[in-house]
Structure 1
Amino acid sequence: MFVRKKQNKSGVISVQVVDKSTGRYRMLRTIGSSSIGSEVERLVGEAKQWIKKQTGSQELDFTDYAHHTKLVLQGIEQIAVHGPALLLGKIFDEVGFGQIKQDLFRQLVLARLCYPASKLKTTDYLSKYQFLDIDVQVVYRYLDKLYKEQKELVQQISYQHTLRILDNKINVVFYDVTTVYFEAESEDDLRRTGFSKDGKHQHPQIVLGLLVSKGGYPLAYDIFKGNQFEGHTMLPIINAFQAKYNLDKLVVVADAGLLSKENIQLLEQGGYGYILGARIKSVNNELKEKILALKLANAESQTIEIDPESKLIVSYSQVRARKDAHNRKRGLDKLEKHIKSGKLTKASINNRGYNKYLHIENEIKISIRPEKIEEDKKWDGLKGYITNTNLTKEDILENYKDLWQIEKAFRVAKSDLEIRPIYHRVQRRIEAHICIAFVAYKIYKELERQLKTKGSTLSPEKAIDIAKTIYAVKVKHPVTKEITYTTIINSEQQQNLAKLFDF
């Protein structure tokens, strides 16, 4: 229905309500007529109100009679998954990623959070569940644009948001690396085989370095060749991050895998504070004697001065001691099994893992050295941390414990976001793929933060699962042919989530 103003031969304008739903014009009602402009407009307004009243009496009514319900159901044109857009799309904008005026960017990030898959399968998901027909080649071209024009902006937006939620204080950062493998066999300059943290040693891979803040909010990342030594990845990322945001007195926290004399020297030369996991079994004999002489009780820690610029914090934990003993027993059981089977050879005598307990007798017999086991037991439960900061040992231990946040980031990225395997071959698209995963994890962390702030017991995974059950229905009215969109929020879980996030 619509309003028509029809001028008569006398010059008077008649205001009518006309319907064309059958394909032919049909005058339903004449509201009135006048030659005065203001009166005509008043009649037009009255006509619109009449239409609204008429269509309102015919609105969707699922509580009405069965034939009405049947007519409405026949008018359903689309049922789309809408909850992720309501929940995650809102957080996407609150973080600031809405600054990137490209709807495909939003769709790719939300899909990575809800239905992580290859780009081809992502376009299939967008078509089936979002009714967005996007050719995969369009996605690939956008990835090129993301890499070329928007990658740096993405990290800046993430940094600025993290700065806001941490009260404009970022003085401690946490760094770690992981490997991400490819579903391919051939190597190139970037994709190389190397030590895989996923156990995919036969697959080409890249090394991914990630920098996060207190609380585990992602700050910066970079990728390196698959055979790159992880110790050589830390300084390039930290230096670039420090220079970009002009930060002073930054303290870097990293695990023992990144500890090397070269890295310590570079950190000191760059003016950084550092808290690094120490390899206490590999220090000189004098320092070993000092560590073992501490005789720490459970949860106790002591400081040992190394030189005027650095010190070693040593802590003891009964839980860690039990874990060390358990792991050693498992390793020894496996060694003994291999000895009995005759699988061990002279080549097995090395210092890798529990092989350090082995020795060879008369160039023939391989056996386990009990004295090595007893020597190793002395270190059960001990953990070392080397630092050049003036923080208290309690603060040093607390900051190091927060490294679990970055381990969680990698775990979520690999399991929930399914960042690997990577199917891309071209470097710019590989980097764009990592960029989308970076943004998705940022949204995940902000969802986690807001759930905690709102006092909810939901995990981010559970909240996303509930959101995925919320649908939007597009219905064409059986009489007026008017299109109506309705979001279906029925269950208690759906209602609670909608109330929690005000959508």
Structure 2
Amino acid sequence: MYVVERVARGHRYLYLVESVREGKTVRQRTIKALGRKDVLAASGELDRLAASIARHAERSVILSDIDAGRIAARRIGGPLLFGRLWQRLGVDAVLEEVLEGRQFGFAVERAVFVATLHRLFVSGSDRACLDWMESYAIDGSEDLALHHFYRAMAWLGEEIEEKAEGGLAPRCVKDVIEEKLFDRRRDLFTDLSLVFMDTTSLSFYGAGGDTLGRRGHSKDHRPELAQLILAVVIDAQGRPICTEMVPGNTADVKVLMPIVTRLRTRFGITRSCVVADRGMISADTIAALEELGMEYILGARERTSSVIREVVLNDTAPMVPLVLERQAGDTQLWVK
């Protein structure tokens, strides 16, 4: 059985019919005239009839409550996947450990998780995060309000040292969390014999950022905005170790050494090889790395001089010794 629509005297009527076979032909047999379509729709009789029939069906459901706003579809995949990773890395446990003794009056760990998830998916402000959160089913986030996100982010940036050396941002709660996460996965065979570092610029709107916010070379092509330089350090397995921030007008070449020095202090590094791109190479940087006894792999610009063409590019060996003459003295490198 099914419903058909027929036009008569300028009006549309609905009929409940069924198909019946008579000999070799199939025809429609009217079971019930339901009435004028517009009248049935206006009175709600059609919806009530459909809902009544759906109650007795095994594979049909009426979703009218969605249009009325009483039912909302919420996504669960992202929170489940990254929630499991969050727990495996021990981020939730470390946050609760650092929060011990603090009375915030709301679930700070949940606010940090939601903010992290938001930045992984779409990024944006804390206000945008609050709206985005409504489309996702995230355990423990039901009571979070906008000011909770503001307070959680302020706590992560809460300074625990007045001033840092080398132009780096002062140590804050975020640094303590990074160190505790590293300690959780550290064992007898864990080392930082090879670390990779790169930088990017992050521009921002509005007030604030008086310490780090400066105008400089913008990698996201927004030179009119204040920015900071974010340096990310990862280990040989691609796992993040830490991040550091410096004022936005700091050249890449001046970033490497302060971070190397702080890495040795924060994580007890005795031997390590630093890998960085060509923007961080300079005679002073190389001399400082040599003085610290640090191994390094630094990218070098491919020059058009005969030294590079004939000595380096034409040699098939994995590494080629090269001495570059500089005003401060010769620098001996292994290049490829």
TM range (shorter): 0.5 to 0.7
Aligned partners of 1:213 and 1:178: how far apart in 2? 18
TM-score (norm 2): 0.62
Aligned partners of 1:289 and 1:82: how far apart in 2? 59
Residues 68-87 of structure 1: matches in 2 within 5 Å? 79-87=73-81
Deviation per CA, 1:131-171: give whole Å up to 9, x if none. 7353212211121122227412331244346656x952320
Residue 302 of structure 1: CA displacement?
4.9
Residue 125 of structure 1: CA displacement?
2.0
- Corresponding residue of 2:238: 216
Does the alignment pair 1:172 with 2:163? Answer: no
Note closer, same or farther for the CA distance 1:133–1:126 as it changes in structure 2 (3 Å cut): farther
1:173 partner SS = strand
Equivalenced residue count is 246
Note closer, same or farther for the CA distance 1:310–1:168 as it changes in structure 2 (3 Å cut): farther
Does the alignment pair 1:146 with 2:156? Answer: yes
Greater relative contact order (CA < 8 Å, ≥ 6 in sequence): 1
Note closer, same or farther for the CA distance 1:139–1:267 as it changes in structure 2 (3 Å cut): same
1:304 maps to a residue whose letter is: P
Give 2:279's match in structure 1, choosing from 243, 254, 257.
257
Q: Is the CA contact (8 Å cut-off) linking 1:180 and 1:208 kept in structure 2? A: yes
Residue 178 of structure 1: CA displacement?
1.3
Residue 239 of structure 1: CA displacement?
1.2
User: Equivalent pairs: percent with the same residue?
Assistant: 24
Q: Is the CA contact (8 Å cut-off) linking 2:312 and 2:320 kept in structure 1? A: no
- Corresponding residue of 2:57: 66
- Corresponding residue of 1:125: 132
Q: Is the CA contact (8 Å cut-off) linking 1:123 and 1:133 kept in structure 2? A: no
Q: Output the aligned Cα RMSD.
A: 3.6
Residues 91-106 of structure 1: matches in 2 within 5 Å? 91-99=85-93, 100-101=95-96, 102-106=109-113
Does the alignment pair 1:109 with 2:130? Answer: no
Aligned partners of 2:85 and 2:297: how far apart in 1? 33
Residues 310-459 of structure 1: matches in 2 within 5 Å? 311-315=332-336
Note closer, same or farther for the CA distance 1:162–1:280 as it changes in structure 2 (3 Å cut): farther
Q: Is the CA contact (8 Å cut-off) linking 2:281 and 2:299 kept in structure 1? A: yes
Residue 65 of structure 1: CA displacement?
2.8
> Where does structure 2 lack aligned partners over 5 or more consecutive residues?
1-53, 97-108, 159-171, 325-329
- Corresponding residue of 2:300: 278
Give 2:214's match in structure 1, choosing from 189, 192, 196.
192
Deviation per CA, 1:79-115: give whole Å up to 9, x if none. 4322222211001000110111322122221222234
> Where does structure 1 lack aligned partners over 5 or more consecutive residues?
1-62, 283-287, 316-503
Q: Is the CA contact (8 Å cut-off) linking 1:181 and 1:203 kept in structure 2? A: yes
Aligned partners of 2:321 and 2:223: how far apart in 1? 39
Residue 310 of structure 1: CA displacement?
6.7
Q: Is the CA contact (8 Å cut-off) linking 2:202 and 2:230 kept in structure 1? A: yes
- Corresponding residue of 1:8: none
2:310 maps to a residue whose letter is: A
1:127 maps to a residue whose letter is: E
Aligned partners of 2:246 and 2:182: how far apart in 1? 22
Aligned partners of 1:244 and 1:143: how far apart in 2? 22
Deviation per CA, 1:346-402: give whole Å up to 9, x if none. xxxxxxxxxxxxxxxxxxxxxxxxxxxxxxxxxxxxxxxxxxxxxxxxxxxxxxxxx
